A and B are shown apart, each in its own frame.
Chain A
């Protein structure tokens, strides 16, 4: 499939933003709160002020590092059918995300604290839904606070087969989590080839990288695991109030992250990982579903694709608040526009309330939305046969195309087949119980949970995961 693109920014505008980003990295730099990393960065060509911990990157160094970063990222699933190959111009993937603490109960609709059972339920749904390619866990409240990430990772490994977006609480937790996927994948070599998860570390806007995050980055690097260097810059709070300003700063942080990644973990691929936010001017609250979010995600995706050819992982499927109708529009607009600007991996499926809750009903709806987005960006093929001249001549004026062989040939491939959104005419819909989108999504989710079976891991792997979880609790649970 050849991806087709919109262009939010003109070539000149992209250059201006890029230049601004380079100025930021050269003159302001980043605060890297890790002594050994600062030394390595210095040795790698960055200008380091060891007293202020400020690291500055010249345009030359940025170019060099960018050239060396691998452009293709393999995100592995339990088996190769579930693998993803992320690259500019490649396929569009979608996933859930991690870090929520609340869950919308599937049976009652109650918005409540998330539990380990919910991680399992969500995992089964994500495994079954065809348009979801990756998963992420919420942090359940019924396990020890300090090891919730380990327990939820385990639940994901055991109950579904797709690639995982992991969010380790710290480097000690990450060590256990890495050992868990070694147990599942069989060896460190296999993990390196097709890693079952990528771990998130952050650039804390503006321009800060913490010691713990660098430790996690380097540990993951030892195992050959790509780290998503997430950027969650917020307009007017941690980035300039103007969209152009936040684009320049966010892009600078992404380029800085590429330098860090390349110098500290050479050879490790990374995505251009965005979660730009908008700050509500009255409450200071983070927003992910506003029109400005659409612009930010799309423009940054365009930059990453066009100027740097780095695959883009972006929060274009996020929404604010919990009301379905609003969530659907926010996700649809942002997801489609980000995809059209070249995003490779859009995330936030199943997430609502600005990433504070997971909703199984919303997940089923988002699977459909992603399906529609995929169809739109697939576009159309314009070739001799499809132009259908012969068919037009056959059918002629006042004829019908319904029975023409041309229609028969193409009718199965050309159209999106909805599995959830309603196509029934009104009277039929009424006769079926006039169910709205939420009701139908709920029924579909319950049906999936009844019918869908995920092959269990081998018993020796399950035992190993259990041992690791227990060890982790012993060492880290508080």
Chain B
């Protein structure tokens, strides 16, 4: 396959969410190379890591995001596409480290204390990784100290907090207050999200940004960090 054909195949397999050759959908394609095998082949053919990412993997994710916005794709489609993108990135990881390709930015994300919901947070994480961010996933039920420590110790530029319960969303404000007390507020952009959260609430508690879904979260984060 030519480089161009290979990149197109990588892109279309991300769009279809075909992680590897065993992907169960679409049924007619089971057994055909998926993102993992195609990325391995691209590496074998000596293609540039940046090219594979920027002309194969990420464009595929962009199309997926667009289809999601129009309602053609549902959340499961988004998630499986993000997983297949990750599979490609896993193949490239050792080469990325070697070639010192820098991530677009570094972020940490978690669901606040008392809250066990993780689907939305995981989706945001995957979309951010798909956009080229390095993301530290703090998990669920995250105590305030853990949020503070990751800002202190990991040089993250963006802190994301999620809550799906009306009773736990107030924790977000508490974390922002803690950041202020520790003199860390200026070091990081804070974004919040989750079903009960609104733009007004985000403003009220002093967050920098809010987005209604994972796709828009990426766009908003790039705005906040003055990225293209």
Contacts and interface: CB of A to CB of B under 8 A. Distances in A.
Contacts of B47: none
A58 interface: no
A420 interface: no
B74 A100 contact: no
Given A101-B167, A282-B75, A284-B75, A204 B116 contact: yes
Contact of A281 (B74, B116, B120, B123): B74
Contacts of A139: 166-167
A113 B73 CA distance: 34
A2 interface: no
Interface string B35-56: 0000000000000000000000
Contact of A145 (B71, B74, B170): B170
Given A236-B76, A237-B119, 6 more contacts: A100-B166, A139-B166, A139-B167, A283-B75, A285-B195, A354-B195
A145 to B, nearest CB: 5
A356 B201 CA distance: 14
Nearest to A210: B116
A284 B119 contact: yes
B143 to A, nearest CB: 13
Nearest to A202: B116
Contacts of B116: 204
Contact of B213 (A100, A281, A283): A283
Main secondary structure of the interface of B (DSSP, over half): loop
Interface residues of B, number: 16
A284 B123 CA distance: 10
Contacts of A99: 166-167
Interface string A285-307: 11000000000000000000000
30 contacts: A99-B167, A100-B166, A101-B166, A101-B167, A101-B196, A102-B166, A139-B166, A139-B167, A145-B170, A169-B167, A204-B116, A236-B76, A237-B119, A281-B74, A281-B75, A281-B76, A282-B68, A282-B71, A282-B74, A282-B75, A283-B75, A283-B212, A284-B75, A284-B119, A284-B120, A284-B123, A285-B195, A286-B195, A356-B166, A356-B196
Contacts of A356: 166, 196
Interface string B113-148: 000100110010000000000000000000000000
Contacts, number: 34
B6 to A, nearest CB: 32
B217 to A, nearest CB: 13
State which size class the interface on A falls in.
10 to 19
Contacts of B170: 145
B172 to A, nearest CB: 12
Among B68, B74, B120, the one with the most A-chain Cβ atoms within 10 Å of its Cβ is B74
A117 to B, nearest CB: 18
Interface of A: 99-102, 139, 145, 169, 204, 236-237, 279, 281-286, 354, 356
Nearest to B168: A145
Contacts of B74: 281-282
Nearest to B141: A210
Contacts of A169: 167
A101 B75 CA distance: 27
Select the residue from A169, A281, A284, A285 with max chain B CB neighbours within 10 A.
A284
A226 to B, nearest CB: 22
B204 to A, nearest CB: 10
Contacts of B167: 99, 101, 139, 169
A279 B74 CA distance: 11
Contacts of B195: 285-286, 354
Interface string B73-93: 011100000000000000000
Across the A-B interface, the 9 shortest Cβ-Cβ residue pairs: A281-B74, A101-B166, A145-B170, A284-B75, A285-B195, A284-B120, A282-B71, A282-B74, A284-B119
B100 to A, nearest CB: 36
Interface in B89-121: 116, 119-120
Contacts of B68: 282
B167 to A, nearest CB: 6
Contacts of B120: 284
Contacts of A236: 76
A130 to B, nearest CB: 29
A169 B115 CA distance: 12
A381 B17 CA distance: 59
B64 to A, nearest CB: 13
B160 to A, nearest CB: 16
Contacts of B75: 279, 281-284
A136 to B, nearest CB: 13
A237 B74 CA distance: 13
